[in-house]
């Protein structure tokens, strides 16, 4: 609902796509939907936590229920909270889990629930937003960089698995 995600949602809507925005930030989500609709597009908002399996399933089900199909998944959610700028020794296990769950597990969950619908269509695209942290280290970003490296490994594995079904899987690295 913010930044790259909001800009991407607006671009897809402008191109004629029916957009479902899924974000933990309710106000931002409602604002971007309003903006898309005011510009003549069609969008809906699902409020939830992308690190939670049931929320991911519910978001996909909302898209299918209202739009009847799902052909593109743009996996963009990521966090790097200010209190997580720590080395591996000083970073708490809880913060490690939070970053990995939001940045990496969410992509797996959203793909897991989207893929069956794409298989029915015989096509689809999964776009996993990555980061320079996937290929180069940043001081005090151990969990963030690990999550981004994991995104790229997940992307390669899913691309191999899903290609035979007409589903492309790719990663984007902004910057």
- Name the phi and psi angles at 85, rounded to 5: -80, 70
Reading the block at residue 119, the tokens are: 């298989």
- Name the phi and psi angles at 144, rounded to 5: -60, -50
Choice among 85, 108, 144, 165 that is catalytic? 144
Q: Are strands 167-172 and 124-129 parallel, antiparallel or unpaired?
A: parallel
The yes-or-no answer on residue 12 being catalytic is: no
Given a contact cutoff of 8 angstroms between Cβ atoms, the answer to whether 55 and 48 are in contact is: yes
DSSP letters spanning 58-127: HHHHHHHHHHS---EEEE------GGG-B-TTTS-HHHHHHHHIIIIIHHHHHHHHHHHHHHHHT-EEEE
Strand partners, 8: none
Q: Which residues are catalytic?
A: 144
């Amino acid at each position: 609902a913010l930044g790259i995600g909001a800009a991407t949602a607006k671009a897809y809507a402008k191109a004629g796509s029916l957009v479902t925005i899924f974000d933990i930030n309710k106000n931002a989500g409602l604002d971007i939907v309003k903006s898309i609709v005011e510009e003549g597009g069609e969008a809906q908002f699902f409020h939830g936590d992308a690190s939670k399996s049931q929320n991911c399933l519910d978001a996909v089900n909302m898209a299918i229920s209202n739009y009847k199909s799902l052909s593109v998944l743009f996996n963009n959610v990521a966090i790097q909270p200010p209190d997580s700028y720590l080395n591996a020794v000083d970073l708490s296990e809880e913060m490690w889990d939070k970053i990995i769950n939001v940045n990496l597990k969410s992509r797996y969950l959203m793909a897991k629930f989207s893929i069956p619908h794409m298989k029915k269509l015989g096509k689809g695209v999964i776009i996993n937003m990555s980061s320079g942290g996937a290929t180069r280290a940043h001081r005090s970003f151990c969990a963030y960089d690990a999550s981004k490296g994991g995104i790229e490994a997940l992307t390669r594995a899913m691309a191999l698995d899903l290609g035979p079904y007409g589903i492309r899987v790719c990663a984007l690295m902004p910057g």
